[in-house]
Amino acid sequence: MPITGRLNPFLGAIYVCAALCIVAALFLFACREVWSSVDRSWTARNLQAIHFALSAYQNAYGELPPAAIRSKEGKAMHSWRVLILPYLGPDEAAIYRQYRFDEPWNGPNNLHLASQMPEFYEPNARTSQGETETTFVAITDGSSVWRAGVVPRM
């Protein structure tokens, strides 16, 4: 069989597919890195807004909000996240004005407001934890700002 210098069409197709796979893998890796950076920026922006709102609450009341407002029976009724809504911005203040403290967070009126959860409480730019879930929580163990018997301050 003489060598003509022409590539077998089947091998050529394999080389093209391999090259496309390598390009696709590099593209996906780059996209992952970009989204990872976007997620970090989104989370940092949200944490900064929450920090400013906590500071504004402390300036207004002389202390940080409690981790939770509890019923007489000790059941958590409302989160610190609700208490800082007025300090996050005008849209969040409007949600706060509609919030009813005479029913639990998952009562009929308040659960309806959960669909308007501020973007500041969403974990990142691409996903949603659901209408009543967030990744921003108050740690209430003995070594945190929100420990039992201590007025929380920054």
Long-range contacts of 29-33 (CB under 8 A, 24+ apart): none
Which residues in the chain come in under a pLDDT of 50? 129
3-state DSSP helix/strand/coil percent for the chain, to nearest 5?
Answer: 55, 5, 45
Structure tokens at 33: 């890195």
CB 78 within 8 A of CB 103: no
Q: Which residues of 81-107 are buried (b: 16+ CB within 10 A; e: fewer)?
A: bbbbbbbbeeebeebbeebeeeebbee
- What's the pLDDT at 100? 94
- What's the pLDDT at 68? 86
**Total-model pTM:** 0.68
- What's the pLDDT at 150? 66
